[in-house]
Every structure is written in structure tokens, then in C-alpha cells.
Amino acid sequence: MKAWQTLCSTASRLRFEPHDIASQLDGRGQYAVELDEEFPLLIKLFRYTSKRHTRGATWHDRLELFMPLDGPARFRMGEQEVELRRGDLLVVDNLKLHHVVDFPGFDTRVVVISFLPEFVYSLGSPSHDYAFLLPFYSKVERRPHVLRGGDGAAKAVHGALAQLLECYFAGAAQPFHQAGSKAFLLQVLYHLAGHFRASEMLKWEFMRQQERSLRLKKLFDHINARPAEKLPVNTAARLVGMSAPQFMKNFKQVAGMTLVAYLNHVRLANAARLLRETDRSIADIADATGFSDQSYFDKRFKRGFGRTPKEFRADVLR
């Protein structure tokens, strides 16, 4: 409990900004985050509320940890939705389309830690360093990795997080703040790896999963550059140099859903952005995002967002 109180005390001295990043989205609706090559670690402090957060699913290369500090939060990754309470730490499936889910009364501060894998482990690193990334690549049981606030490892993780926030946001005022930030991040990852040890895989399996993810990166980039373009499985498989059966198996393992489901998620996210940020007609937006049939678009959109496109736009303008 003391570690949690220390973390809350540290957070209370920091500024949390509204999760209102629409102005920072690129032309494809992606939230582009530039990480320093020398120090590829970024910690963002957000305040999420029903009225003040940017909606829409995304994916990215960087690895990510997500922790609500005040109240409940809901996080969707692929086809799974995770309920989080304050102090729970989620290991995000970064290559699956993911987003924070809105609900009545949603209001919480959140710590989001992002970093590139090579910040921890890359070619030339000591072989044992791969263990720090096991929580991100070893979900063999297909369940999200969540460290609950009451779990045995939570105290150590909360303590390391408090030190990480203190060191990271001190900046140049803290001697060797970059080295210190990395040291405290490794502490967090070490305790997470220990907590999820039942999911540990052999090093070759870990490397295979990393290779599988990197091999599909070209396809993810292609989809986000041309989300409305028709993309048959055979064409997608050729893009990444795989046979169709091999591709379907690998894509489902990495993205957590089929190619068709993934394309629908990307298109719906783009449609939501256009509904929110433009005055284009709903029929025009349906066509621009790859839905030639507006009634089908309405149906898919309501299934994904709980409202029709017309209702969604009305809520945004309210």
C-alpha cells in the first residue's frame, strides 16, 4: 500500500493533459509519436473523460504500458475488451488495433509508457535481456497481460513506477536522468516478467514472434496508407512474401483478428475521424472509407461504436 501511495503522491505533482490529440493525427488518422533514437522512451500523462478524449483505434511499433490512477477504464485490443481498475497495469498488444473505450462517468488519470523494443533488447544485446520483453511477446494463452493492483508483484511495480516518473519528469535537473529512467523501466519490466512467468517461452519462440511481427509491418503500413483500398488475402500475402495459408495464420497470431476484421476496424476508425472533423455527408464518408453500401456501413459502424454515424456526429457536435 505504501508503494501505491508513493506513486499517487508522485503523480499528484505532475500535470495530466486531456487526451485530446485530434490535432496531432496525421493524414491517415494515426497518432504519430516521434521517439528519440538515442533515448526511445516516452511517458505521457493523460486525463481521460467521456467528453475529452480522442476516439479511434490505432496500432504502432512501439511497446506500451497503460495504467489508470483514479477510476475504472476499459481498453479494447483486437476482439478483446479489458476492464481495468485503478492501479492495474495493462501490457498493450501494440500491433493489434486498440483504443480506450468510452462509458458513462468515465473520468480517470492515466500513465502511458511507450518505448521501442531496441531500447531494451536488440542485436548485440546480452542474450538474457530478451526476458525483459517477454510480457509483450509471450501471450501464448491468448489472454491480455494485466497486473492487477492486488497481485503480489503490484507493490514492486508501483514502487518502480513512482521512481520512474520522478526521474523521467525531473529531466535535466536529475543527474543521469536518462540512465536512471531506463534503470527504473527495467525494474518494472523485470517484475512483470516474473509475474507472467507462467507464460514464458523459449528464446527461439520469442525471436520467432518478433520476426513474425516485423515481417507484417510492411502490410500494416500499406493498410494505413490506403485503408479504403480492396485488399484480397492473396494480395496481402504477396506483399509480405507468404503463401495465403501461412499469411492467414501469421496475421491472426499477430493482429488477433482476421484480415477482413482488421480492415473493417481501420476503415471505421477513419470514418469516425471524418465524421468528427469534417462536414462531409455520411454517404461520402462511407464511400471514402471503403464502404460502397451505406446501409452496411451504418450497420458496421453501430456495431463498432454503439451508435449510428448520424448519432455519433450529433454527439460530437453537442
| Structural domain contains residue 286 | yes
| Structural domain contains residue 205 | no
| Structural domain contains residue 211 | no
Q: What is the CATH number of the domain that holds 221?
A: 1.10.10.60
Same domain as 190, residue 51: yes
CA distance 147 to 143: 12
Residue 34 has pLDDT above 60, yes or no: yes
Same domain as 27, residue 74: yes
Same domain as 74, residue 47: yes
Residue closest to 214 by CA, chosen among 181, 176, 184, 240:
240
Provide the grid cell at 101. Answer: 473505450
CA distance 139 to 142: 5
Q: What's the mean per-residue pLDDT of the chain? A: 83
| Structural domain contains residue 206 | no
Which of 199, 225, 241 is at the close of a domain?
Answer: 199
User: Across the strands, what pairs with 83?
Assistant: 74
Provide the grid cell at 71. Answer: 477510476
CB 120 within 8 A of CB 183: no
Same domain as 82, residue 35: yes
The boundaries of the domain holding residue 154 are 2-199
Same domain as 234, residue 133: no
Which of 153, 173, 199 is at the close of a domain?
Answer: 199
Q: What is the CATH number of the domain that holds 148?
A: 2.60.120.280
| Structural domain contains residue 209 | no
| Structural domain contains residue 92 | yes
Residue 28 has pLDDT above 60, yes or no: no
Residue closest to 64 by CA, chosen among 221, 178, 219, 188:
188
Which of 166, 199, 232 is at the close of a domain?
Answer: 199
Same domain as 222, residue 193: no
CA distance 87 to 69: 6
| Structural domain contains residue 204 | no
Residue 254 has pLDDT above 80, yes or no: no
| Structural domain contains residue 207 | no
Mind listing the pLDDT tens digit for each residue in 227-244? Answer: 888 889 999 999 989 999
CB 51 within 8 A of CB 230: no
Same domain as 221, residue 192: no
Q: What percent of the chain has pLDDT over 70?
A: 85
Same domain as 236, residue 182: no
Residue 213 has pLDDT above 90, yes or no: no
Q: What is the pLDDT of residue 32?
A: 59
Least confident of 194-198, 240-244, 264-268: 194-198
Would you say how long the chain is, in residues?
Answer: 318
Write the CA distances from 181 to 110, 157, 204, integer angstroms: 19, 14, 29
Same domain as 145, residue 105: yes
Residue closest to 312 by CA, chosen among 273, 283, 284:
273
Tally the domains of the chain.
2
Same domain as 182, residue 55: yes
| Sign of the C-alpha dihedral computed for residues 157, 163, 166 and 167 taken in this order | negative
Same domain as 43, residue 180: yes
Residue 12 has pLDDT above 60, yes or no: yes
Q: What percent of the chain has pLDDT over 90?
A: 32
Same domain as 245, residue 195: no
